[in-house]
Structure 1
């Protein structure tokens, strides 16, 4: 065996490991997943997990997984303007997540991750009374996603994984103290993509 052959194998092996590390896998069975794949919400860990098609079928029914894992729905519904001022959250890029216990949290992106607020449950119920579609938001796995920054007017019922994806966009693009010049065009592209996927 030559040194050149061993080096070539080592380089190929390293490239294969790097590619494998980039390939997303199912968090339940470790099978590779496509770029567009389903997600489960882990109620115990309060996080989203990637899941392959066969594993997602296991959690499609109500009560599947003893409630620990819930399949994240795929619906995206653009709403007319919703006046969220009564919810008391001081930012224009935020999502509101109703919980199974009746509480509601708001989360907004920052360079360090998600900022989180508790929202008055009575104010949420009143808002749902004025916008009946909000009463259909599935607790923990769907959210009211809002972007009113720079005069935009986006109000969506969106899957929770889309909301976390928006936080990832902000973290990836944020520069300096104010966010820099890349952040808001990236957020606008995120909402354009949301429109195309709905």
Structure 2
């Protein structure tokens, strides 16, 4: 694979994962803003409805209007994806977090006032019990975790197939990835199609790209 010195995919790799990722998106449909009904393009933002913890597709006007209000019903989901190349998580620290599989995401729930650990499952995103002392050790080693915006930004961990990759991502990207896995997974091992999709998703995220609209939701 052609790779850049900073560890991100090079041009040829970019074309490869981009083509692969497009095959896992559903055919485009006409999406409407869930707040005002306006048609949406393929790169529309999302709002998180805090009480229900539900993502809402919205136009940029509604994202600005409803996402920047104090004590509001909605919170705007950021759009930037960042690969954390200098993140530190040893195998012992990972084991202490007690996540049953090699992919997980962590975010702070402002209502519950605690960090939530989730991982993809056959039925969608599953919550895992989190050892808070183990999480605090991780935060001490990685101050970037203090910059996660509650509810709408997450630490995404990829430790499958020998990977040791960590990302600061919008919460909608975690559920988009979960949706890909849920839709493609077959049997106990997942199947070739599922693993191809997982690799394509993480290649996109590592390049700083968002997963495309149309990927099945969790």
Q: TM-score, normalised by structure 2?
A: 0.75
Match of 1:153 among 164, 186, 194: 164
Match of 1:73 among 64, 71, 78: 78
Tell whether the 8 Å contact from 1:103 to 1:119 is kept in structure 2 after alignment.
no
CA distance 1:122–1:62, shift in 2 (3 Å): farther
Q: For residues 43 and 185 of structure 1, what CA distance do their matches in structure 2 show?
A: 33
Deviation, 1:114, is 1.2
Q: For residues 88 and 72 of structure 2, what CA distance do their matches in structure 1 show?
A: 31
Q: TM-score, normalised by structure 1?
A: 0.82
Q: Which has the higher contact order (CA 8 A, sep 6+)?
A: 2
- Is residue 52 of structure 1 aligned with residue 52 of structure 2? no
**Superposed CA offset, 1:131-165 (max 9, x none):** 00011011110110011100112100100000000
| Structure 2 unaligned residues grouped into runs of 5+ | 1-27, 210-218
**Superposed CA offset, 1:29-64 (max 9, x none):** 11111111100111111121101011011134362x
What corresponds to 1:33 in structure 2?
40
Provide the aligned length of Structure 1 versus Structure 2.
Answer: 176
| Structure 1 unaligned residues grouped into runs of 5+ | 1-20
- Is residue 192 of structure 1 aligned with residue 203 of structure 2? yes
| Greater fraction of residues in helix | 1
Deviation, 1:25, is 1.0
Q: For residues 122 and 177 of structure 1, what CA distance do their matches in structure 2 show?
A: 32
Q: Deviating runs (4+, > 4 A) in structure 1?
A: none
Determine which structure has more spread, i.e. the larger CA radius of gyration: 1
Q: CA RMSD in A?
A: 1.8
